[in-house]
Amino acid sequence: MESIVITDVSPRDGLQNQAIHLSTADKLEFVRLLARAGVTSVEATSFVSPKAVPQMADAADLLPLISQALPQLRVSVLVPNLKGLERARAAGAKEIAVVLSATETMNQKNINMTLAQATAVSVETLQAARAAGLRTRAYLAVAFECPFEGKTPVEAVLRLAAVLHEARADELVIADTIGAAGPAQVRDLLRELVGVLPVDEVGAHFHDTRGMGVANAWAALEAGVRRFDASAGGIGGCPFAPGAAGNLATEDLALMAHQAGFATGVELTALLEAVQFAQDRLQRPLGGRSSTWLRKQALRAAS
């Protein structure tokens, strides 16, 4: 059976936009529950400015705890620049991720840099991380549509993807940051991308703003992509991108993959326990589109 790799980004991309800030102990327990459900890769936190993202202020405390408690878990952390990289290295990071927005305006609104400046920072950070022996991921944000400029030209995405690949990103993640893409758009862009980059180095990151997250994931699968980001319970939404609703739920992606004959390693009933934990702590309803059905199935099996 063919497998797909799911990186659960709920501890970082999910929790960074929540009104309630989880304690370090609760974050560790949340990651434990994800691992118990069979998740093998998580994006755990980010080493960004605590003033900009206060939900991630405990990154240096959390990362060593996760590494000690779950040594087999693949753990990546987001870093914005060389300063963030050094903080992550000091905390024991083995894998880092950078984010580059594909449009001029998104970079200026998000990080007050031009596209050229942001590209240079991403390249510099990736190269320094690789020189230090770390694994690297690179997100290409607003790759389909920008909240400020509209549809992102395919040529711009391909050009920036080549730059990040040449900077030695181990994995290039194409991100539909505001959930504006449709399946045909996803299929066409990713087919072009995997025509020029090794397909096993390409990943996809979808949001479910318009209810197309699973359909877009299927289109990516058809294009040959086997690496995906998802967020348990659909937690998330970029705080710097207007209109970015929750991420594609891990349970929705895993269920679709299982029904299509792909292995994920994720046990869905156990994953619901992680979602319930986050729901209790965040004090808000969580769950993907399949959650109601999955919960009914779990109750039926337990009775």
Segment 118-136 mean pLDDT: 98
CA dihedral for 71, 62, 87, 113, sign (positive or negative): positive
User: Does residue 234 surpass a pLDDT of 60?
Assistant: yes
Confidence at 13, pLDDT banded by 50, 70, 90: very high
Segment 166-181 mean pLDDT: 96
CATH topology of domain 5-302: TIM Barrel (3.20.20)
Give me the amino acid identity at 24. Answer: T
User: Does residue 243 surpass a pLDDT of 50?
Assistant: no
Q: Is 238 a catalytic residue?
A: yes
Give 253: exposed, middle or buried? Use CB within 10 Å, 0-12, 13-18, 19+.
buried
CA dihedral for 17, 22, 24, 30, sign (positive or negative): negative
Segment 78-97 mean pLDDT: 98
pTM (two decimals): 0.95
User: Does residue 66 surpass a pLDDT of 80?
Assistant: yes
Annotated active-site residue in 77, 140, 235, 238: 238
Over residues 135-144, the pLDDT tens digits come to: 999 999 999 9
* 293-298 own/partner pairs: CB under 8 Å, 24+ apart: 294/251, 294/255, 294/268, 294/269, 297/269, 298/268, 298/269, 298/272
pLDDT at 237: 62
pLDDT at 238: 54
* Domain locations in the chain as residue ranges: 5-302
**CB distance 105 to 146 below 8 Å:** yes
